[in-house]
Amino acid sequence: MTYPIDPARLWASIEHSATIGASENGGLDRVSLTDSDRQVRDWLKCQCSDAGCLVTIDDMGNMFARRGGLDAERLPIVIGSHLDSQPSGGRYDGVLGVLAALEVVRTLNAFDVQTRHPIEIVNWTNEEGTRFPPTMFGSAVFSGIRSKRDAYEVKDQDGHTFLHELERIGYRGPEACGDHPVAGYCEVHIEQGPILEANGSQIGVVTGIQGMRWYDIVIDGVAGHAGTTPMHHRHDAMVGAANIVERFRRLSVDYEPSAVLTTGSISVSPGSRNVIAARATITLDVRHPTRKILDDLERGFDDEIERIQSEFGLGIRLDRILASDPVEFDRRCVDAVRTAAQSKGLSHMDLMSGATHDAANIAPLAPTAMIFVPCVDGISHNEMESISQNDASAGAQVLLETVLQYDDILD
């Protein structure tokens, strides 16, 4: 039997969400644990309660809204994503996943559908990691990847700790984070890239998430006068930085198209026009679907650093600050997404997620899958981020069909 979601109701929820923490140019500025984050949490809690769900909150601020199942002993099927945003972010990143999950529950209620498992909507805390880095705090502590104590002590740029701000907005709940077993997990998300749109596909059947490593690179040279120091006497940290950016890029090209490498920021001191740079600091983000290639690239980085140090008389330190291994999603769950798309006559394709998501942290705990929908021109983390109402509805409908299959195939 078909249980159609209500596209207008879903879109109205998304549009209302966009009014909470709205940015000047039509996006969102709803950074984690700010007042606007509290406001959208309060609104979600009311919406879930109105849908007959029991809302609980753990001590990392993760929100769970449970619709009961026929078998109270069964673990819940959890669906959702996150409601926090980048400082100048889009109105769909994460939001679609939470509100599609709410629409699934509303549709099950409308048709009086009884599932064996409880169904839970989740809003994970601090997925973006903008204010309290790194990303995905809530799900990382939930899964045991990160310690709660460490998370609590992380400070924002103003010196406020995560714990202080969590308590300030009133969302440090009584449930211990992680004491919440899960039968299965599924997350709807915008693709945040151009592949679905370029291929004319309405649904992305996500098979896994590629691995990611973050590095900080510090290059130490010697400051000197720009006019009096001969070129062959210089130890210029900026020259070292420029060579690292170019040589590392060439290394990554050898592993295209799957490898992507980004040097997203650089800082230089003393930062004067007529002083040779004494120090440069670079951030590096590297991603690939296989751990072996990530290891190969890291070895290549070390080799290039040795050459650059010797060539320019510099001291260079490469610090790996984050490592996320590639994740392969549960085949049964991936098949459920694919079958759901087929049953609705929606064009679909398999793909690996280039961005990381909370699903990566939940996959080791429970059978997991993701559903992608296209975003216009692949733009995300940007106020111009846009999706169509039809694609949002397709994602929510596939999520509903996937949940019903989960209910049959999961213990």
pLDDT (tens digit per residue) in 72-90: 899 999 999 999 999 999 9
Q: Band of the pLDDT at 14, cuts 50, 70, 90?
A: very high
Does 236 map to a domain? yes
Instruction: Provide DSSP, 62-108.
Output: -EEEEEP-S-TTSPPEEEEEE----TTB-SSTTHHHHHHHHHHHHHH
Q: How many domains does the chain fold into?
A: 2
- Supply the CATH number for residue 278's domain: 3.30.70.360
The verdict on 231 and 338 lying in the same domain is no
Give the pair of three-digit tokens for residue 42: 């309060």
pLDDT recorded at residue 222: 98
Same domain, 73 and 127: yes
In a domain, 318, yes or no: yes
**Domain stop point among 264, 292, 324:** 324
Same domain? 179 vs 220: no
Distance CA 339, CA 336 (A): 5
Residue 167: count of CB within 10 angstroms of its CB: 15
114 and 161 both lie in a single domain: yes
Tell whether 395 is covered by a domain. Answer: yes
Cα 142 to Cα 128: distance, rounded to the nearest angstrom: 16
Q: Report residue 22 as tokens.
A: 């709205």
Cis peptide before 367 (omega within 30 of 0): no
Q: Contact, 141 vs 133, CB < 8 A?
A: no
Tokens of 331: 């085949």
- Domain assignment present for 2: no
Indicate if 53 and 193 belong to the same structural domain: yes
Same domain, 11 and 24: yes
Q: What is the pLDDT of residue 1?
A: 74
Q: Residue 358 and residue 379: Cα distance in Å, rounded? A: 20
Given 272, 300, 324, the domain boundary residue is 324
Contact 33, 126 (CB under 8 A): yes
Mean pLDDT for 29-38 is: 98
Taking the whole predicted model, whether its pTM rises above 0.85 is answered as yes
In a domain, 1, yes or no: no
Domain end: 324, 339, 362, which one? Answer: 324
The reply to whether 72 and 90 lie within a common domain is yes
| Domain region containing 151 | 7-210+326-409
Output the average pLDDT for the chain: 96
Distance between CA atoms of 164 and 346, rounded to whole angstroms? 46
Q: At 80, which CATH number?
A: 3.40.630.10
- Read off the pLDDT of residues 96-123 as tens digits, 9 standing for 90 and up: 999 999 999 999 999 999 999 999 999 9
- Sequence-separated (6 or more) residues with CB below 8 Å from residue 189: 81, 93, 94, 96, 97, 357, 370, 371, 372, 373
On whether residue 137 sits in a domain, the answer given is yes
Same domain, 268 and 330: no
- For 322, the enclosing helix (H) or strand (E) is strand 315-324
Residue 125 burial (10 A CB sphere; 0-12, 13-18, 19+): buried
**In terms of domains, do 60 and 202 share one?**
yes
Cα four-point dihedral sign 355, 361, 364, 367: negative
Q: Based on the fold, state whether residues 186 and 290 are members of the same structural domain.
A: no
Is 193 inside any structural domain?
Answer: yes
Both 198 and 245 in one domain: the answer is no
Mean pLDDT (whole number) for 189-200: 97
pLDDT of residue 256: 77
| CA dist 206 → 20, 163, 404 (Å) | 30, 34, 18
In this structure, the answer to whether residues 204 and 66 fall within a common structural domain is yes
| Model pLDDT for residues 293-338, shown as the tens digit of each residue | 999 999 999 999 999 999 999 999 999 988 889 999 999 999 999 9
Q: Is residue 221 part of a domain?
A: yes
